[in-house]
Structure 1
């Protein structure tokens, strides 16, 4: 039975053309299946058209930190998939569509070498709504996990995964040569992942650099809580990058979050600044759900939901500069093709 998601796959694959990344929302908030096209040279050997990364999976129950009376978060609606097997089904669905279009000879076969069709798990942050233990335990132990220095010991405690790699952080004195940043072992040569740290552990940016063609690089910049755009390493990455790249998309939310008078999530205004500075082709909304709070957290957290129109009203730009700003909202279980 065809769904809006599979219809998008087929529309992209027919007629045959250069493949583009496909992002699928797993929970309507901040969990994604990020599918990056593989080079044609890998299609035969892998039997797959895409390299599939599970991003900050929170799919199974609430997030409880220490105790439910202290920190308890819940999503506003049930995730589209609730475990690793469900995500694997999404991968097979996409690869089957590619096979039907003749892009690959066959989709990933069930149980080849006992490996999951998921190629990697990326955990960008060590708090429980990003690194959700009950969800991670539902994924195959064979999937390589890439995470932060703070996240690695927490994932090791799960005693689940055989490969855990720390994603490098850019040096504060980074000057723009991102190719010199140590490549995370286990990722293919056409993908690179690293982070930019901000003034607080909540405020960071993850950069995924994809080589879409020989000597052509595109970036996806993920900053769920926002990052001051004046951060020196970010400025060097955006304006002095070597090799040069274009920003395909930013993944950034619209809501602001405050703990009393301390702003922890910068929201739409910061997202608009990053969108402008990076000259991104797309702005994809993430981490923007109306979460349910209980316990002590209920008393101290205040979410303020903003719109891009509000953010445009806050900046000093002429009307022409404001016309083409659009935020892509990807529904729970739906996908977006980044053309």
Structure 2
């Protein structure tokens, strides 16, 4: 049995209410979203539609998004741009990510056979300070590896070719048999490493989410890229859409992930999708980040407009970590710290009497969550 994680370490965020949270997710057939660092690495765990694949004893399909767990990242050259996480990631290796997933699997098996499925001596059962539906899961465990068919990570999604999204050292820790879905330039670079058996270009969303599934995905799951043709050469301001069925209701919902932000008008195809797609969660940062002649992260003002267009039930902050930086780019980088309240006040000023009431009235049907390093959220 490995030693317990110290409570003052970043990994201690991964030690609360796992079994209860998984039980709720199983009973409600709702996805879990886990923030694996303070920046923009996520684990999205989507319940299999009934019946689940019993041969693998799996209840969730686990998608790892933009993995960068430790070490520095540099684009072009270190003298030009280099960054490091200011806060250590809650999991430091892919093996620890797999441990998180195995713990979810333990809880699933416990629910099926009527036992806890989790060694409660290894789980801190104190409530997370955030309370509510925000949970934290344990990266530790008994050290006993579950034997199951396939890998614990079912798929990897890479949204950009920049190395804070496509971190080579982290990606090479992942089993070569895990399928990777990446934007075109990122996919080409990842193929050049000759590591993964399957690397696919993420197709552009065409209006029908079913067209974005392929032989390496379950037929109930689609992964596509939302971007306006010809508008952005690097597709810097674009989004990844992960679409899946909503329980047994016959409806489809999606998680829209846009770490740099996307022009709201470019999301119109999602709003007009046929069959209809309900946006369950929009992952869009609050911070406005720019260089003298380039907008990098669009920030909260843009995020509020995107949320309104999509009608997202959840708005979740991402890519807002204030990282340690070096190189020429760091001298010119400008960051505006914008709060949700700031964004709402600006929109109220722009629209005048069309927006009345308290500062947060306009967000009464939306849940904004700023998930910390290691926290998880049940997307109800």
Normalising by structure 1, we get a TM-score of 0.90
Q: Matches of 1:26 and 1:140 in 2, distance apart?
A: 18
2:225 is aligned with 1:189: no
1:70 to 71, 80, 91: 80
Q: Which residue is equivalent to 1:23?
A: 33
1:6-85 aligned at under 5 Å gives the runs 7-14=16-23, 17-85=27-95
Q: Which runs of 5+ in 2 are unaligned?
A: 6-11, 119-143
Give the Å deviation of 1:87.
0.7
Q: Matches of 1:213 and 1:327 in 2, distance apart?
A: 23
| CA deviation map 1:210-241 (0-9, x unaligned) | 1123521111111111111122xx21321x22
Aligned residue for 2:112, secondary structure, equals coil
2:373 is aligned with 1:332: yes
Q: Matches of 1:82 and 1:39 in 2, distance apart?
A: 31
Q: 1:13 to 1:90 in 2, by over 3 A?
A: closer
Q: 1:18 to 1:43 in 2, by over 3 A?
A: farther
Q: Matches of 2:113 and 2:303 in 1, distance apart?
A: 36
| CA deviation map 1:49-84 (0-9, x unaligned) | 100011000012010123211110111111111221
1:1-339 aligned at under 5 Å gives the runs 5=14, 7-14=16-23, 17-102=27-112, 110-113=146-149, 115-170=150-205, 174=206, 176-179=207-210, 181-198=211-228, 199-200=231-232, 201-214=235-248, 215-231=250-266, 234-238=267-271, 240-315=272-347, 316=351, 317-319=355-357, 320-339=361-380
Q: Give the aligned length.
A: 330
Aligned residue for 2:256, secondary structure, equals strand
Give the Å deviation of 1:292.
1.8
- Cα contact 1:49–1:103 (8 A) shared by 2: no
Aligned residue for 1:44, secondary structure, equals coil
Aligned residue for 2:268, secondary structure, equals helix
Q: Matches of 1:58 and 1:226 in 2, distance apart?
A: 19
Q: 1:318 to 1:325 in 2, by over 3 A?
A: farther
Give the Å deviation of 1:187.
1.0
Q: Matches of 2:197 and 2:281 in 1, distance apart?
A: 31
- Cα contact 1:123–1:145 (8 A) shared by 2: yes
Aligned residue for 2:19, secondary structure, equals helix
Considering only aligned residues, what root-mean-square deviation do their CA atoms show, in Å?
2.4
Q: Which moved more, 1:182-191 or 1:70-79?
A: 182-191
| CA deviation map 1:198-219 (0-9, x unaligned) | 4322100111111123521111
Q: 1:336 to 1:37 in 2, by over 3 A?
A: same
Q: Matches of 1:37 and 1:83 in 2, distance apart?
A: 24
Q: Which runs of 5+ in 1 are unaligned?
A: none
Q: Which moved more, 1:326-335 or 1:145-154?
A: 326-335
Q: 1:152 to 1:23 in 2, by over 3 A?
A: same
Q: 1:50 to 1:104 in 2, by over 3 A?
A: farther
